[in-house]
Amino acid sequence: MKDFRSVADAVAEEIASGRLRPGERLPPQREFARRHAIANSTAVRVYQELARRGLTVGQVGRGTFVTAAPGASVPAPALSEPAVDRVDLELNHPVVPEQAGLLAAGLTRLVRSDDLESVLRPVGPAGTPTAREAAADLLVRGGERPDPERVLFAGNGRQAISAAVAALTRPGARLGVEEFTYPVLKAIATRLGVTLVPLAMDEDGLIPEAVEEAHRADPLHAVYVQPVLHNPLTLTMPARRLDHLADVLLTSGIHAIEDAVWAFLRNDLPTLASRAPERTVLVDSVSKRLSPGLSLGFAVAPAALAGRVAAAVRSGAWTPMRFPLEAMVRWQADGVVATLVRAKQREAGARQEILHRRLGDFRTRSDPSSYHLWWELPAPWRSDTFVAAAARHGIAVTPAAAFSVGRPRGPHAIRLGLASPTREVLSRALATLADLARSTPDDFAGD
């Protein structure tokens, strides 16, 4: 027989991960019982438990509705007071004080009448020769500069990932991914009808032998991997692991999609694409480097795959706008990109210092160059209850379940994004979360 708490945990994780959204109505209890193969009395206890955690509210004559969201009007549990201002530790967009001024100069020149006509013309996935050269300079890592002729453009980084997945797979294909992966990739795979295959990781990141084993069991069409500052675990592959993975790709004939969106913070490190250039599509974007409001993605594809990736960009309506393309060219030529990258690298270090001051006593995993961390919560906290309790304090955090692949429930951990609030707000929010983690969740007494 299913325990009502385990069923409530599953619903709570759906709420925390966003699969059940604030305001969404839950089914009547009898229907819920049938769906979950539980007794009606168990369903009643599940609904009572969700309401006690502050995740739902019942309205007479209307039903039960999800309320677990920052700013939702629900009774606060005893361990917290309602917060007025929301602190977003979910989204993760680095911003530095000098950013607006540096970017403004390049934009001013773009909007002059003699330039505006050209920058508003349409452009395809290949961009322009000047843009490809500028992008190749921007994407230099570990002293390696990609071939400008292999650079393609998309509207943003997510679209570049979508195009790469679409080009390398087909509906029903198997795409290997790290067992914790970028949540957007999960949505992309669902939309494209692709099956995600979780691959084991260790302290050095994705385990190459796990790729081989999965491929032997049932061939993989491709592998998606984040070798540098993995989101959410912040792991970075050492050179020997990178070489080993490249060897597996080459010997097995598997293609890889290398997501390098955070790698600009460790631009001294080489790419997987430099180790296995004919097996790897490298994807990146400018939004983290420059500004969250600037949208432009890159896909550096092997010659044999460039046509397929470009076709996927076009068929998905993911072609870039020419304006950000031309802005990137100017900012790269003027040194603005390099200046902002250095500033954001320094800012990451400052935020890591705040992190260690506030959460140094807890079991966290991060990197001195990272804007996010992985926090394994202390007992008796569960990720769903901690997310809900943090929300009562006006702090939005992301549960492990949002990143987990291949298991119904993730570990009792959360990911914190450090980039979005100011340093002062971040420090206060982390102090609040530390106090919360040292307390006891309201529902623990019933476990």
Closest CA to 230 of 210, 206, 252: 206
Three-state SS string over 235-285 comes to CCCCHHHHHHHHHHHHHHCCEEEEECCCHHHHCCCCCHHHHCCCCEEEEEE
Mean pLDDT for the stretch of residues 226-248:
97
Kindly report which listed range (218-222, 338-342, 352-356, 408-412) carries the lowest average pLDDT score: 408-412
> Whole-angstrom Cα distance, residue 161 to residue 170?
14
- Contact residues for 162 (Cβ-Cβ < 8 A; gap 6+): 154, 188, 191, 192, 312, 316, 318
For residues 330 and 109, the answer to whether their CB atoms sit within 8 Å is yes
Of the candidate ranges 158-162, 281-285, 408-412, the one whose mean pLDDT is the lowest: 408-412
Residues 25-41 have pLDDT tens digits of 899 999 999 898 898 88
d(CA 223, CA 176): 4
pTM over 0.75: yes
pLDDT digits (tens, 9 = 90+) for 56-92: 876 555 678 787 443 333 333 323 333 446 899 998 9
Tokens 């079991």 found at: 363
- pLDDT interval class at 292 (50, 70, 90): confident
**Which residue in this structure is represented by tokens 């569960």?**
382
pLDDT of residue 58: 67
Q: What are phi and psi of 61, to 5 degrees?
A: 85, -10
User: Are 158 and 297 spatial neighbours (Cβ–Cβ below 8 Å)?
Assistant: yes
Q: What is the pLDDT of residue 182?
A: 96
**How far is the C-alpha of 355 from the C-alpha of 365, rounded, in Å?**
11
Over residues 96-155, the pLDDT tens digits come to 999 988 998 878 777 775 667 777 888 999 999 999 999 999 999 999 999 999 999 999
What average pLDDT does the structure give for the chain?
A: 89
Residue pLDDT, tens place only, 167-189: 999 999 999 999 999 999 999 99
Mean pLDDT (whole number) for 304-312: 97
CB 225, CB 246: distance < 8 Å: no
Q: At what angle do helices 157-168 and 183-192 cross, to 10 degrees?
A: 40
